């Protein structure tokens, strides 16, 4: 029993020093019936972390615990696109408005700058926005937005071909 307490304490300290989903699961296993108390402390610690090096662990853990708003907050201002996509895939059912806002922002940034090589990425963002519009039952709003994009950027032939597929 003394070794398990020491192991738990060491694993908690390791988690606090450099959070990871693996360590989170190890702490859960070692904590046993004390998990709820320990879990609250770990989640609070994660919420206080403000470093790009902890973003992936934060997102993994918050999504695992179905804490969507915390996962969104963990993204911060600077984040890799794959991490944002992972949060969007879950948030689409809980915060579709956020997904629409973020997806449109990222897509429009690419499109407005005329980054033809990144139009595929812009369409990926727009597919997220489309799914969120549909989740909200706002298909006509999506169609209006898509039509507006196609009208505004009609001379971007590569983009037009891609937009027709969504």
Check pLDDT > 90 for residue 57. Answer: yes
Q: Where are the domains of the chain?
A: 1-77, 92-166
Cα separation, 135 vs 142, in Å, equals 11
Check pLDDT > 80 for residue 2. Answer: no
Burial of 1 per CB tally in 10 Å (0-12, 13-18, 19+) = exposed
Burial of 52 per CB tally in 10 Å (0-12, 13-18, 19+) = exposed
- pLDDT one-digit tens code per residue, 89-103: 999 999 999 999 999
| The pLDDT value given to residue 9 | 93
What is the pTM (predicted TM-score) of this model? 0.88
User: Mean pLDDT across the stretch 20-41?
Assistant: 95
- pLDDT one-digit tens code per residue, 110-123: 999 999 999 999 99
Cα separation, 94 vs 66, in Å, equals 10
């Amino acid at each position: 029993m003394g070794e398990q307490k020491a192991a738990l304490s060491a694993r908690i300290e390791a988690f606090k020093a450099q959070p990871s989903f693996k360590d989170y699961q190890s702490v859960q296993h070692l904590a046993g019936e004390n998990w709820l108390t320990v879990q609250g402390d770990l989640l609070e610690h994660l919420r206080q972390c403000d470093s790009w090096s902890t973003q992936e662990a934060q997102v993994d853990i918050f999504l695992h615990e179905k804490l969507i708003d915390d996962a969104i907050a963990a993204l911060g201002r600077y984040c890799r696109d794959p991490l944002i996509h992972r949060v969007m895939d879950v948030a689409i059912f809980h915060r579709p408005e956020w997904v629409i806002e973020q997806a449109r922002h990222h897509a429009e940034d690419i499109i407005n700058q005329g980054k033809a090589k990144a139009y595929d990425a812009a369409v990926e963002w727009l597919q997220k926005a489309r799914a969120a519009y549909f989740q909200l039952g706002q298909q006509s709003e999506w169609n209006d937005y898509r039509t507006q994009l196609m009208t505004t950027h009609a001379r971007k032939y590569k983009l037009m071909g891609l937009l027709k597929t969504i």
